[in-house]
Amino acid sequence: MLFSLVVLGVRAAQRRHLEDRILSTWPETAALDPELVRFAGSLAAPALASHCAGCHGGDLHGDPTHGAPDLIDGEWLYGEGRVADIEQTISHGIRSGDHRSRDLADMPGFVLQNPYRRYRIASLKPSEIRDLAAFILQMNGRLPADSAAAARGQALYGSALCYDCHTASAQGDPAIGAPSLRRHAWLYGAGAEQISDVIAYGRSGICPSWSGRLPPATIRAIAIYLHVRSGAS
């Protein structure tokens, strides 16, 4: 009895010590320390299962019905996959209402009369949206049924200002969370219909902010765990 109480006490002290270390170590350095990475995994796994899997999927490979991205494929909407980038997103969320959340751009809805709430942007016709979707499919190595449509879509990519957020090469802009349009895991699905629907009606996906809802050591641990699993180290 006394022996098991002593064991429990030692374990609690070890855990507190590791929590202190995970927070006081520079995030990118912590991700290189095998003991802290192991500890991060033990804190992160249950938190991910109870707070994140509902949107990001039990395997963390994303869920197009929520527009929630794959968190371990090494493709990032925001930042470059450093522990600090991921921690910032988890702490303050995306379009979450937290005043430090990531919220610099949205996907306009191009069939709407006023496509964009932040600045004036011209509407597109439904046929133009189909052409853009054909171009995006072609860019991803999927042969469009109608190659003339893809060529028209390519011209529209410039004239409709898609490049303004997604960049001229369509690789996306991680400073504003504009995804690459050469993705292997699409936020909202890879089909022509799904891509057309995003261009037509726009999207503003929301990730909640977790600062104040999860302990700081758990948030840091999840960031380290996702960084390591996504192979960005």
Contact letters (x/-) for ligand HEC, 67-96, by CB under 6 A?
A: xxx-x----xxx-------x--xx---x--
Residues 6+ apart with CB under 8 A from 128: 110, 152, 153, 156, 160
Residue nearest to ligand HEC (CB): 205
Dihedral sign from CA coordinates of 186, 189, 192, 198 = negative
Question: Could you say whether residue 27 binds ligand HEC (CB under 6 A)?
Answer: no
198 token code pair: 């995003």
Identity of the residue, 187 or 224, whose beta carbon is nearer to ligand HEC in the bound complex? 187
Question: Could you say whether residue 130 binds ligand HEC (CB under 6 A)?
Answer: no
Q: Are 2 and 204 in contact (CB under 8 A)?
A: no
Within 13 Å and on the Cβ side, how many CA atoms surround 204?
14
Question: Could you say whether residue 204 binds ligand HEC (CB under 6 A)?
Answer: yes
| Binding residue (CB under 6 A) for ligand HEC from 108, 149, 217, 228 | 108
- Burial of 165: CB neighbours in 10 Å, binned 0-12, 13-18, 19+: middle
* Cβ 143 to ligand HEC shortest distance, Å: 18
Interface residues with ligand HEC (CB under 6 A) are: 51-52, 54-56, 66-69, 71, 76-78, 86, 89-90, 94, 105-108, 110, 132, 136, 160-162, 164-166, 177-179, 181, 183, 186-188, 195, 198-199, 203-208, 210, 222
